[in-house]
Each structure stands twice: as structure tokens, then as C-alpha cells.
Amino acid sequence: MATTTGESSISPPSALDIKENPENSNPPPPPETVQQCLTLLSRRDDTSRFVGLALLSSLLSHITDRTLLLQCWAALPPTFLDRLLRAGKSAKKTPEEARDMVELAVGVIGAFATVMNTNEYDDALLGRALGLIKALEGSAAVTKASILKTLLAFAGVGRGADVLLGIETGELMKLVDTAAEMEMATQVLVHAFVNADQEVAGAALARFLPELCGRIKGMQGELQGRVLKFLAELLTRMPSEQLPDDTAWVSTLYDTLLSLLSARHTSAIRHSGIVIAAALLHRYPPALLFNPATPTAPANPDAKLPLHHFIQLTLITLRASFPSLLESLNTPTYAATSQTLAAAYDITAALLNHLITAPDDDDDDSAATTTSTALSPTTLLQLRTDLSETFSLTLEHLRDRWDAAFAGASGLELDLEPGHGEPGVPLTLTWDHATPGGLLRDPIIMASVRALALWLREDESLRVEAGGLMDFWLGLWARGAEAGVDYRVWVVAALEGVLEEEHGRAEFGRCGGWAVVFGDLKRIYNAPGAEEDELRLGIAEARLLAEVVALGGEAGEGMVRDAVGLAGIRGARGLRLELDAEVLRLASACVVNVHRGVRKRLAGEVAKVKEVARRLVLDLYERGAAEEESEVVGLVAEVAAEMEGL
């Protein structure tokens, strides 16, 4: 097929030229010119169609009548566009002819995708997606860029995303391969998965992820790094329930990550690997990483296990970031840094939770040949030191960050601070407002608090240091709800360990901890429609306060009146009954630990606790307690016996 030299240079108008300037300064084309174009397109010989297509390409930026625009699109035979897109694979055309045909088809399709509204995208336009993907191979860089821009426009529309994900996985991999030259190729895939129908996206992920993860280890150079970056973004943006149930690809991906991160790698690969691992741990059993059936072997027999190396690398990433973290709050890179460090904390928390909840080797109910992790006891001891150092630095950072955000900072000129002296106005540093939602919604804060809660509950080494942050813990509790983040569960878990230390209990009292926690417990207890999560939190709060009283060995008169006034019978079974029992235990602990002289004055409160305990015991025995209520029965009986002994 012959063509003119001018036709091959035709490029589609940009979205900026057309959409921001709907009334183009150039006059619209004469009607006879448009009609000539439509006539040429309607003929059956390819030469006429090609000339008509070239003419149309030059007219598109000047057509302002949308009806005429859609009429021009309707005149274009989709099969003709497909043949032009396939011209690069034809042996009957010279390379120059093939290039011109592909460029013209790509340009016209891209131009229509630009000038048409997204609700005007029809099957004839979206159906060209496969041809565009196939045309990537062998095309010039400028043509590839045009193809990717068009596909990105398709992926931004639900129907277009569905069409893209309906393409065979092998063809979609051509987009992955193109990422070595143009990172926009992976953005097409990200937008397609995010915008597609949930069922379509789920089915496509089940095909796509195993294929992709099986190829990553064999990729080289820039492509490998970009694909890992793409995976990190995809896995964090997709709802976890849409990820495949099959875990074979997860094990493959973990093996690839551990191998890559055990060898020389770039910082970009390290950050992507950490984010990917954290995203997978949110969805899949942690044993796939920490105790795989076939652990990743080190390249050198004398080297560390890749899993050990990965965990150390994660902790080092955290520790190395603290010195400059506050300074980077107001920088454009902080959001990415925050995501990476939050992911590192999530990995750490997952490891701790896995070790805590995994069955012991000598547990009769566990498999005799299994262990909780692929790491040896010696390795775990080494990691314990690393963990302790990391969490110590974490506490220092949280102290500094909290002081900067809410309590002022050392050396700050308070007289220069806006609103100084006004009640309720926090002494904040302006650069902390650069993060969306401020401190309370910072992913680093949320993730570090979750991990710290597990560590402080199980390890004693940092409890005194953490007790010095009591204003931080209770501040998160009080302020979190305003920011839309519920910190209560994590704070209760952290305080379980902190309050075992005398210093922690003293700080708890000094900072008004009783009022904060008991106030929330009272709200939950008196809420008739409290959900299960709230009831579980109330149970944990009652236990925490009871331990504070019991370990401290003293209770004030106000505490007694609070606890006894709350005690009662609100539920017959389940979590409501368990909450009744825990509140009763709290009331009993307060009565037992109050000064004897005060207790004599509070004879009515003592009698109430005894009566509630007696009624609970009677109710449980009369109706016959279920097996799962045995702990509640034992707790109530213990309280009743304790009260009778007064």
C-alpha cells in the first residue's frame, strides 16, 4: 500500500490542546472536506480508507460538533484499524510502510480517546485494546508512548478496565515487558485492576499474579526493579479479599524477594520488597514467610538464612531512618518513606504475633515435627537484641514527634507560637501539618504503635522507658477518635505490659489514666447495642484497670464508687456476660484494696458487690453454664469468695 511522507508524521492532538480549549482558535473544517473524509472511509479499498484516515487525523483537532465527531468515529471500520495495527507483523509491507500504518492507527485511536468523553467510549474503541498491546512490540518509542497513553485512558474507565483485564495473561505480559523502557506500562495495569469490576479484577489477579511472580527472578536490570515497584503499588491498592486464595504464587514471591534481598540490590528494590511482604502478611498466613515448607537457602552455605537477613534488613531500615525522620516531615518524599517504614513495622509485628501465637513444640495438640519458625533459637536471640534496639529508638522518635506536635519542643519560643496561652490550643510545629492528618494519621505512628503493643506486652526491657510516654499513649486514645483512627485496642495492649512496672502505674495515675480508660469502659458497658469488638475492648479495659489496682495495692474512694456503681448484670451469655464478670472483678479489686477506714464508710458499695457476685453465681449454676463459660464461672466464684472473706 502506498502512502505519502506527510501521512506518517501525523500525530494525535493532545488532551491539553483539545479539552482545555474546546473552542479551538482554528476554524472548523469545511463541511465538504469532512464529507470527503467520510466518503473515503466508506469505500472498500484500503488505499481510499488509508487516505481518509490520514485526512481525518488532521481534522480531529478542529471538529467541535460532537455529533459530527461521533459520526466520524462510526464511519471508521474497526477491522480496518486492526489490520493497520497488525501491519508491523506483515511480511508484505516494507518496514517504512508498516511503521506508517501502525503510527496512523495509533494516532487516530488515541485522538478519539482524547476528544471523546469517557461515557462515549464504545465497544468499537475499547475493543482496540488488544491490537494496541500487540503493536507495542517493534514500535518506536514515540508510538509506544502514544499506545500507553491511550491504554491508560481506557484503564481509567470501568468498562475499559474490564476489557483490558479480559485480555489473555500472555498478552498483558507485553505491558510488563514494556516497563523496562516506559514505567507508564505498569500504571496501565494498576489502573485497570483498581477500576475494574471486583469479580473481573479478582479473576484476572488469579491468572496474572502467578504468571508474573514466576518471571520476576529471571528479570534483569531496570525491569526487575520497576516490576517490584508495580507489585508493591498493586498489592497495597487492591482490597485483600480480591487477592487469590491460592498461596503457591505467594511462596514463589517470598522466595524471590528473600533471594534478591540477600544479594546486592538497590534501595528501590529493598523498599519495594518490604512493602510487598507487608501487604502479603495482611492477607496470607505469616507461616508462608516465617516458616515455609521449603525455606529459601542462602547462596553461600556459610551465609545467614535469607529470612534472617531479610528481618535484619527490615530492622536496619527502621533504625537508619530515625535520625533524619523529623527533618523530612515537610518534604515531598515523606509519604513514600512513611509507607516503607510502616510496612517494616507491619512485618515486625507479624513476626512477633507469629512467634507469640504459634504452638509450642512440646504442645500435645501441635504437630510433633513442626516449629514456629525457620529461624534457629540462636538466631532468635540475636534478633531479640536488634528488636529491642529498634523499639528503643522508636520510643525516642515517638517522644520527639509527640512533643513537636502537641507539647511544644525544647528551645521553642512559646511567645512566638500562634495561640500561645489559649486553652485547648496545642503547641504545634508548623512543619508537622505537612503530613495528611498530621501525627495521628501518619502510617508510621499507627504501625509502630501496633508493633510496640506486642513487644511491650511480651518483653520487660523497655517497659520503664515506655512508661515515660504515658501522655503519648493516653493522648493517642483521646485524640485518635477525632482524627478517625481508633488507637484504643493497641494502647490497651501496650499498657498491659507498661503498667506492670511501678513507674508506669505512677505515670498512669499522674496523667489521669483512670478517668480516660474507665470513661470509655463505662460508655461501652452502658451501650445496649455495643458490637462484639467494642465488648471485647471493654473486657480488656476492665482487666487492665483491675490489674492496675491489684498491682498498686491501693484504690481511692472515687475509684471504688466508680467501679461499684458500674457493676451489674447486663447479659445472660457470651461477651456481655464476660464483661459483667470483668467489671465485677474490677469492683471487687477496688473494694479489697481501698483503705479499711474508707471501706467501712462504703459499706453499701461492699454489699452491692457481694450481691452482684451472689446473683451471677446463682444464675450461672441454675441455667447450667456452657463449657466455653467455664472461665467466667471461675472468675465470678473467685470474686464471690474474696468478697465473703472481707
Q: pLDDT at position 642, please?
A: 80
Q: What is the mean pLDDT of the chain?
A: 85
Of 82 and 635, more confident: 82
Please compute the mean of the pLDDT values over residues 516-539 and round it to a whole number: 93
Q: Is residue 176 part of a domain?
A: no
Q: pLDDT at position 361, please?
A: 52
pLDDT at 111 over 70: yes
Looking at the fold, whether 485 and 550 belong to one and the same domain comes out as no
pLDDT at 616 over 60: yes
Residues 31-81 have pLDDT tens digits of 778 788 888 887 887 788 888 888 888 877 777 778 888 888 888 889 889
Listed residues 511, 540, 557: the one ending a domain: 511
Using a 10 angstrom Cβ sphere, with 0-12 exposed, 13-18 middle and 19 or more buried, the burial of residue 460 is: exposed
Looking at the fold, whether 420 and 469 belong to one and the same domain comes out as yes
Beta bridge partners of 594: 555
Beta bridge partners of 427: 407
- Rounded to an integer, what distance in angstroms lies between the CA atom of residue 641 and that of residue 51? 98
Q: pLDDT at position 612, please?
A: 86
Please compute the mean of the pLDDT values over residues 119-133 and round it to a whole number: 94
Which stretch, 19-28, 462-471, 551-560, 585-594, has highest mean pLDDT? 462-471
Looking at the fold, whether 315 and 436 belong to one and the same domain comes out as yes
Looking at the fold, whether 491 and 620 belong to one and the same domain comes out as no
The SS3 call for residue 113 is helix
- Rounded to an integer, what distance in angstroms lies between the CA atom of residue 132 and that of residue 115? 18
Residues 337-372 have pLDDT tens digits of 999 999 999 999 999 999 988 765 554 444 333 456
Looking at the fold, whether 497 and 544 belong to one and the same domain comes out as no
Q: Is residue 401 part of a domain?
A: yes
Torsions phi, psi for 555 (to 5 deg): -145, 140
Cα R_g (the chain), whole angstroms = 33
Task: Give the least confident one: 246-250, 475-479, 546-550, 564-568.
Answer: 564-568
Residues 148-200 have pLDDT tens digits of 999 999 999 999 999 999 999 999 999 999 999 999 999 999 999 999 999 99
Consecutive H or E run containing 320: helix 306-325
- Do 360 and 370 meet the contact criterion of CB atoms below 8 Å apart? no
Looking at the fold, whether 503 and 636 belong to one and the same domain comes out as no
How many helices and strands in the chain, by DSSP H and E? Answer: 33, 0
Looking at the fold, whether 463 and 392 belong to one and the same domain comes out as yes
Closest of 618, 610, 632, 598 to residue 564, by C-alpha: 610
Share of the chain above pLDDT 90, in %: 53
Q: pLDDT at position 45, please?
A: 79
- Rounded to an integer, what distance in angstroms lies between the CA atom of residue 405 and that of residue 177? 46
Torsions phi, psi for 46 (to 5 deg): -65, -30
Looking at the fold, whether 488 and 582 belong to one and the same domain comes out as no
Looking at the fold, whether 415 and 551 belong to one and the same domain comes out as no
Neighbours of 302 (CB within 10 A): 5
Q: Is residue 640 part of a domain?
A: yes
Residues 295-309 have pLDDT tens digits of 777 767 666 889 999
Residue in the block written with cell 534478591: 260
pLDDT at 428 over 60: no
Please compute the mean of the pLDDT values over residues 448-453 and round it to a whole number: 97
Question: Crossing angle, helix 574-593 and helix 532-552, to 10 degrees?
Answer: 20
Q: Is residue 161 part of a domain?
A: no
The gap between the terminal CA atoms of the chain, to the nearest Å, is 105
Please compute the mean of the pLDDT values over residues 190-218 and round it to a whole number: 96
Q: pLDDT at position 624, please?
A: 62
Share of the chain above pLDDT 70, in %: 86
Give the chain's largest Cα–Cα span: 109
Q: pLDDT at position 39, please?
A: 83
- Structural domain boundaries, residue 384: 295-361+372-511
Looking at the fold, whether 346 and 442 belong to one and the same domain comes out as yes
Q: Is residue 135 part of a domain?
A: no
pLDDT at 235 over 60: yes
Task: Give the least confident one: 114-128, 318-332, 450-464, 587-601.
Answer: 587-601
Domain count, the chain: 2
Q: Is residue 14 part of a domain?
A: no
Torsions phi, psi for 594 (to 5 deg): -80, 155
Torsions phi, psi for 592 (to 5 deg): -65, -35
Q: Is residue 614 part of a domain?
A: yes
Q: pLDDT at position 512, please?
A: 94
CA atoms within 13 A on the CB side of 165: 29
Q: Is residue 302 part of a domain?
A: yes
The SS3 call for residue 436 is coil
Looking at the fold, whether 490 and 554 belong to one and the same domain comes out as no
Looking at the fold, whether 323 and 357 belong to one and the same domain comes out as yes
Q: pLDDT at position 298, please?
A: 75
